Structure formats: structure tokens, C-alpha cells
Structure 1
């Protein structure tokens, strides 16, 4: 019997899958009833996505729009975005501080914080705190929201 990954291990593994643009495998890391929340989502953007299927539908364009840092657990070095994973009091929860960037805009990434809960080796909750003003890219119509990005429906 394999021991499920702890939250930090699962998050690191998920980043590697996203770096390989393997969105399907990343979605497989989610509990069927998982929830993604964006407390500061811009108007006309979802603030809550419920269920593995809805999460999959939401992230399907990920490879077209954002990059994922390749320096896990280290602060930004010489402009390279970094990831810092902090344990929480609850052993099933971590706090992640990182940058995610829009591939269509020459920037060094938008900083954000995510509070992530893992149960039985699967993501159950991902709450991303980011600045929607910094994330909105008027020139491209895309919005960078950490690991989740999508264009407005009228810009598809």
C-alpha cells in the first residue's frame, strides 16, 4: 500500500505536472468534491469553482496562458520566480507564496498566496489570493490567477 503524498509533496508534484503541461494528470490530483476559491476575483470572473469536473473545465487552457516557476521552495533569484511552501498548524494544509506569469506578457510574474488543503493525498481546497489589477492583461484579454488562467468568454 502506497502512503499518500503530504500537502507539500503533492503541491510540488502538481507543479511538475503543470510545467510539463500535463493538465489531465494535474486534475487527477484533485478530490471529486474539490473546491478552488478566488476571494479577490474580478467582476464577471468566478470566485468559486466546485468539483473536479468544473476545475478541469476551468484549467484546460492553462498551457496557453501561464508559466509555472521551476525553482521550488526557493525565493526569486535574479528575477526567476520562486516558490515558498510553509506548513500550517493543520498538517493537511500548506500556505504557498509564489509567482505565476502570463506567457503573453513580458513580466516576472504576479505574486500570490495560496492556502491549500490535502486529504487522503488529494487536493480538496485551493484558495488563491492575488491582486486582480496586476493579473488583468488588457492587451491580451487574459487573466493570470496563479495556477489558473482563462480568457473572458467574449475573448475566446
Structure 2
């Protein structure tokens, strides 16, 4: 069994490899993904692995991730939870514009699977093109 930090890093590698099915396989069947800062009309909560898979299915067609040049994983007093600070870079597929986003994530893992992922990112920082369309797609 790998550590929470290793599991999270592995997940980022899968995203960079555009291997969305393998990334979704890191989730528990009843896992929940939340976007606390989502604006009106955007998804705020995805319940279950199937909902996460539906949401992420077309991610590589909208955002071409190239790197996570800044990554800090903080252990918490709760042994099943980490807090992650990271920056993702790449390009927006539709426009070709650069993609540069900072995130804070609170991730809980039980029995080697992600059970809760709270994604504190700023959707208002996305250009209003295909990436924003992707982020709204599961609403």
C-alpha cells in the first residue's frame, strides 16, 4: 500500500499522461468530489465514481496539462487526509492559450481509494473558452 502522498503524485502522473480511466480507478465507488468555489451553474458536488468519470471523461480535449511545477503535500493530524498546494500548467486545447492554475485540494483516502476530494480552485481565472465549458459540463 502506498502513502497518501504517493497515491496523489501517482494521480497527477496519470493526469499528465491523459489516462483518465486509470485516474478514475483511484476512486472509491462512493467517492465524492466537491468544488466549494464553483459559481452558479457549475457543478459543486459529484457523487460516486461514475459521476467523477463522466465529469473527467473529456478533460484532455479541453485542457492539455504539461506539468505540475509546484507541488506541496501536507500531512494532517487525520491520517487519511492530506492538504495539497499545487500549480498546473499546460495549454487550452480549443484556443491554444496557456493554462496556469493554482489549486488547494483536501483529499481523503480510505482503503487505498479516494473517498473525498475538495478542489479549491478559482474557476473565474479560466478564460471563457473550452476549459470553462468543460468545468461547467457536469452542472
Using the size of structure 1 for normalisation, the TM-score is 0.77
* Aligned residue pair count: 134
- Residue ranges of structure 2 left out of the alignment (5+ in a row): none
Q: State the alpha-carbon separation in 2 of the partners of residues 36 and 108 from structure 1.
A: 22
CA contact (8 A) 1:66 1:102 kept: yes
Of Structure 1 and Structure 2, the greater strand share is in: 2
* Cα separation, 2, equivalents of 1:57 and 1:37: 14
2:23 is the alignment partner of 1:26: yes
Deviations 1:97-156 (A, max 9, x none): 112346225346111100000001110010011122213x12x2422xxxxx81545xxx
Equivalence for 1:16: 13
Partner of 1:100: 88
4+ residue segments displaced more than 6 Å: none
Taking a change above 3 Å as real, the CA distance of residues 42 and 25 of structure 1, as seen in their structure-2 partners, is same
Q: Which runs of 5+ in 1 are unaligned?
A: 72-80, 144-148
On the 8 A contact 1:100/1:111 being kept in 2, the answer is yes
Compared with structure 1, are the counterparts of its residues 151 and 86 closer, same or farther at alpha carbon in structure 2 (3 Å cutoff)? closer
Partner secondary structure for residue 57 of structure 1: helix
TM-score (norm 2): 0.86
Pair 1:34–1:24, CA change in 2 (3 A)? same
Say if 2:126 is the partner of 1:142: no
CA RMSD of aligned residues (A): 2.0
